[in-house]
Amino acid sequence: MKKIYVVGNPVKHSLSPDIHNYWLKKYDLNCVYEKLELEKNPEKLNLQQKELIIKIRNEEVIGINITVPFKQKFQEHIDDQEQTAILAKAINTIYKRGDKLIGANTDGIGFYNSLTQDFKCDVPKVIHILGAGGAAYGILSELLKHKIARVYISNRNKFKAEEMANYFKRIKSFSSTRISVKKSIFERPLSPVGMFINTSSIGMKGQEINYKKLDTLFSLLSKYAIVYDINYNQTKTIFNKLAEKEELDPDKIFNGKFMLIRQAAESFNKWFGIKLIKKDIDEGIKILEKFIS
């Protein structure tokens, strides 16, 4: 039987096998999706990567998903990168086209598809994004294609926020968007924000902060603003609860479950050329919910 792997370290908590194996069975594809923990040691990693790449080339392995900390570690092993991966500076999916191995990033499109197709929201003109890690690059590189007027970025490490702002400012096709950096994660933007996105791991276990200090963050959000926390380990994340407290529209408060399923669906499409339908997405969500409190 052919294989697909999700590679990472650690990888044992990944829910991707549960989602993909469901779809693989449903579409009667002779393939199984498994976790593969790679070594962090650069030399050992390089050997494991080479072995894996050979298996994708000879089609023993159909492709891979890549998770933390290896999203920037496969670039030199493949033949080409999609624009999505170049802009996001990260690869989360590898697939074979003809005799070439291609790297893609499906996080941004996963976010966008969840927003527009599952939540039926348009991309607002003003966005506040918290975090400046891999997920933020992926999401912002997709959203900036949709004519945003203004983006505020905040991050614990302000230097990284400035680096991300400068990176996107330098991209010509995004030059009509005003991008600015807030002094701290607690400083709220002064003009009305249409969507707040948390891409940081605040609220995850071990990533605790002083929640009281976040209290005023949403006080200037429009009543119709979207609050999208991409974390999916809880049904209601800290930012979801904060939005509820501010009495924002409950139909516009989201966590990261649909983004996770939508990015998985995009990868599935790259491996098999199958465009999953809404029913598949909703069934994926049900599977995910078995693991989320």
Catalytic residue numbers read 71
**Stretch touching ligand ATR by CB under 6 A, among 54-62, 80-88, 194-202, 246-254:** 194-202
Name the token pair of 110.
């996963």
Q: Is the dihedral of CA 106, 111, 115, 118 positive or negative?
A: positive
**Stretch touching ligand ATR by CB under 6 A, among 1-9, 42-50, 167-175, 199-207:** 199-207
Q: x/- site string to ligand ATR, residues 22 to 61, per CB under 6 A? A: ----------------------------------------
- CB 156, min distance to ligand ATR, A: 3
Q: CA 154, CA 80: separation in Å to the nearest integer?
A: 32
Angle between helix axes 278-289 and 257-272 (nearest 10 degrees) is 130
Residue 70 · residue 7 · CB < 8 Å: yes
Pick out residues in 200-219 that bind ligand ATR (CB under 6 A). Answer: 200-202, 207, 209
Q: CA 33, CA 11: separation in Å to the nearest integer?
A: 13
Whether the upstream peptide bond of residue 69 has omega within 30° of 0, thus cis, is yes
Name the token pair of 143.
């959203």
Pick out residues in 165-184 that bind ligand ATR (CB under 6 A). Answer: none
Report the residue number, 73 or 96, with the smaller CB distance to ligand ATR.
73
Q: CA 220, CA 155: separation in Å to the nearest integer?
A: 19
Report the residue number, 35 or 160, with the smaller CB distance to ligand ATR.
160
Residue 156 engages ligand ATR in binding (rule: CB under 6 A): yes
- CB 68, min distance to ligand ATR, A: 6
Report the residue number, 202 or 221, with the smaller CB distance to ligand ATR.
202
- CB 138, min distance to ligand ATR, A: 8
Name residue 5's beta-bridge partners. 34, 64
- CB 63, min distance to ligand ATR, A: 20
Pick out residues in 83-142 that bind ligand ATR (CB under 6 A). Answer: 131-136
Q: How many CB atoms lie within 10 A of CB 26?
A: 12
Residue 157 engages ligand ATR in binding (rule: CB under 6 A): yes
Considering CB under 6 A, how many residues would be counted as binding ligand ATR? 17
C-beta nearest to ligand ATR: residue: 133
- CB 81, min distance to ligand ATR, A: 17
Report the residue number, 61 or 214, with the smaller CB distance to ligand ATR.
214
Longest CA–CA separation in the chain, Å:
56
Residue 68 · residue 13 · CB < 8 Å: no
Beta strands of 155-192 (E only): which ranges? 178-181
Residue 21 · residue 32 · CB < 8 Å: yes
- CB 136, min distance to ligand ATR, A: 6
Q: CA 43, CA 112: separation in Å to the nearest integer?
A: 37
Q: Which residues contact ligand ATR (rule: CB under 6 A)?
A: 131-136, 155-157, 160, 185, 199-202, 207, 209
